[in-house]
Structure formats: structure tokens, C-alpha cells
């Protein structure tokens, strides 16, 4: 098994390691990654083969080590995965246009946006998160990863993200026990069939155009994918159940908002609109809640 020579990375001032890499993992437990005691592990399928990245704090540095045939590829991307390629050079001026955004930008200055360079694993998770609660989606995600899982290289017990070819070759009804109904499964199978082409996209714009051309994948799913595959700070999750209300409440004092209103309010932050939404979430800001909560269901029992 290949193991790279550790790569030493120098994070920016006030860098928040845990908050930066945590979004790369499904909440509570992710079979493909681990964040514990200041150390981060991430299994990946790279162009050079399976790999696992290990990131650990050491004084003021981050130490990146890769394991497996794709060790060099993933170690070369370690700074991006840690969010160290995230460019905030023009954000302070934009944030100053709103007192709340400016305050949150200063408070969470050290939180950086990661970019994994691997699209399909995030697209898988985004498709599963369509129109269901996070708890339902993450339960399905863990079940699918365990079903298709192959042991990841390295000293920790992780599995590689599902192989798109294996997913594409699986009949839709086989996903029912995982809690995924036919509509989301068919979107996933379509994405798996063209995963290799999607992985070759040069940037977030091209990837968004190719993904949204597939039936069952809309702007919300594409934005949730490119935000972390490409580290796109402008990706706005249009069609989200909560975010338009959050933006309307935070930026205009309006308890409810539409997608159009959200985009209108975010327009002054063009280039970092998704970052503003992330800052509102980090700040724990949410619109007043009315009505019952969405129930947690299990399609596997239908």
C-alpha cells in the first residue's frame, strides 16, 4: 500500500479546522470519513485509485498524509479539501453591505469552504436529501455506503464511496430497503451512468449545467453538490425548504421568503451568496417556525 510523505500545510490566521471540514461528512456517522480528536480522515475514489486522506493539527500547521494507490492525488488536493484554497480576498467589502453579515463574517472568519474535487459522492448525498428530512436521507446514505462499500486503504475502518458503475448496474427496486423510493433512485441511477463525464467537468458552472440536464436533478441538488466538490462560494440552494425564509428573516426581517426574494436579497453578495447562507446557518439564525414539523418516514416499510 502506498503512503505519501506527510505534506505540511500552513493554515491562515484563526483557521477553524473542525468547522471547515465537518460539512464533508454526514452527521453523526459517515462510513466514508471520520472526524475525531482533532484528526480528519476521508476515503475517496481518485483518478489514480482508492485513497484515504488523513489531516491532523500539529502546532500551527496541518499535516496531510495519503494512503492507497491514489495517495499522491489526494495529498496534492489536501489544501483544497481543508478549505485552504478558499479565497475570501473580496468578501470583506461585500459583507460590509449588511451589519449582520459583516459581524458573522468576522466571527466565522476562520471557517473555510472545502473542495474535494470528487463530485459523485456529494451528488449521491444531495439526491438522497431531496424532499425528505435530513435524518431519513442520512440513514439511507449510510445504508447505501455500507452495501456498496469496499474497504478504504489506511489504518482506520472506513469504506470507499460507492462506485458509480456498481450503482448504475443495480435495479431501482434494490434501493427500496435502503429507504429510497423510485423517484430519487432513478435520479441517482441516471447520475451514476454519466458520473465519469461529470467528474471531468472543469468548474462548478459546467457541472451545474450537466447535472441539471438530467431528469430529477434541479438547482438545489446541483448547488449542494458543487458547493463542496468545487468549493463554490456562490452556490445557492434554490428550492430549499428553510433557506429562503432564513435569508428573508435575517436580511429583511420578513418571516417568510420565496426563492425570488432570497435571490434579490443575496444579489449584493454576488460571488459569495452561498457563503452568506452558510454564515447565517453557522450563526444559528432561523426564521420563526409555524406549523407542524415534517415527519420522519421510512420508505423501506412501504
Catalogue all structural domains in the chain, each as residue range(s) with its CATH number: 7-87 (3.30.310.20), 120-229 (1.10.340.30), 243-282 (no CATH)
CA 146 to each of CA 41, 162, 180, 208, 297: distance values in angstroms, whole numbers, following the listed order: 17, 9, 15, 28, 20
Q: How far apart are CA 302 and CA 296, in angstroms?
A: 13
DSSP state, residue 240 = -
- Give the three-state DSSP class for 50: strand
User: 67-108, pLDDT tens digit by residue?
Assistant: 999 999 999 999 999 999 999 999 999 999 999 999 999 999
User: 180-231, pLDDT tens digit by residue?
Assistant: 999 999 999 999 999 999 999 999 999 999 999 999 999 999 999 999 999 9
Phi and psi angles of residue 9, each rounded to the nearest 5 degrees, phi first: -115, 145
Residue 300 has pLDDT above 60, yes or no: no
Q: How far apart are CA 199 and CA 297, in angstroms?
A: 32
* CB neighbourhood size of 129 (10 A): 20
Please, which pLDDT band fits residue 3 given cuts at 50, 70 and 90?
A: confident
Average pLDDT, the chain: 95
Q: How far apart are CA 244 and CA 267, in angstroms?
A: 13
Q: Considering the entire predicted model, what is its pTM?
A: 0.93
Q: How far apart are CA 192 and CA 212, in angstroms?
A: 14
Tell me if 135 sits within 8 A of 296, measured CB to CB.
Answer: yes
Q: What is the reported pLDDT for 290?
A: 73
Amino acid at each position: 500500500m502506498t503512503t505519501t510523505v506527510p505534506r505540511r500545510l500552513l493554515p491562515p490566521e484563526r483557521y477553524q479546522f473542525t468547522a471547515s471540514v465537518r460539512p464533508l461528512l454526514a452527521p453523526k456517522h459517515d462510513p466514508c470519513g471520520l472526524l475525531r480528536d482533532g484528526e480528519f480522515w476521508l476515503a475517496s475514489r481518485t483518478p489514480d485509485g482508492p485513497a484515504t486522506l488523513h489531516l491532523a493539527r500539529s502546532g500551527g500547521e496541518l499535516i496531510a498524509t495519503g494512503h492507497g494507490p491514489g495517495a499522491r492525488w489526494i495529498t496534492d488536493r489536501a489544501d483544497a479539501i481543508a478549505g485552504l484554497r478558499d479565497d475570501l480576498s473580496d468578501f470583506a467589502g461585500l459583507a460590509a453591505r449588511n451589519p449582520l453579515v459583516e459581524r458573522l463574517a468576522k466571527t466565522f472568519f476562520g471557517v473555510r469552504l472545502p473542495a474535494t474535487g470528487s463530485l459523485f459522492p456529494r451528488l449521491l448525498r444531495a439526491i438522497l436529501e431531496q424532499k425528505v428530512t435530513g435524518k431519513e436521507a442520512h440513514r439511507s446514505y449510510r445504508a447505501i455506503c455500507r452495501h456498496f462499500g469496499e474497504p478504504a486503504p489506511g489504518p482506520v475502518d472506513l469504506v470507499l464511496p460507492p462506485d458509480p458503475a456498481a450503482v448504475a448496474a443495480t435495479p431501482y427496486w434494490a434501493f427500496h430497503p435502503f429507504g429510497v423510493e423510485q423517484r430519487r433512485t432513478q435520479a441517482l441511477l441516471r447520475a451514476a451512468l454519466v458520473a465519469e463525464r461529470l467528474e471531468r467537468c472543469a468548474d462548478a458552472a459546467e457541472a451545474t449545467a450537466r447535472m441539471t440536464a438530467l431528469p430529477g436533478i434541479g438547482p438545489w441538488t446541483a448547488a449542494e453538490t458543487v458547493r463542496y466538490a468545487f468549493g463554490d462560494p456562490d452556490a445557492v440552494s434554490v428550492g430549499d425548504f428553510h433557506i429562503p425564509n432564513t435569508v428573508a428573516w435575517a436580511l429583511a426581517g420578513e418571516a417568510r421568503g420565496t426563492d425570488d426574494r432570497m435571490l434579490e436579497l443575496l444579489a449584493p453578495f454576488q460571488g459569495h451568496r452561498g457563503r452568506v447562507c452558510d454564515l447565517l446557518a453557522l450563526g444559528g439564525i432561523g426564521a420563526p417556525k409555524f406549523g407542524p414539523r415534517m415527519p420522519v418516514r421510512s420508505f423501506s416499510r412501504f
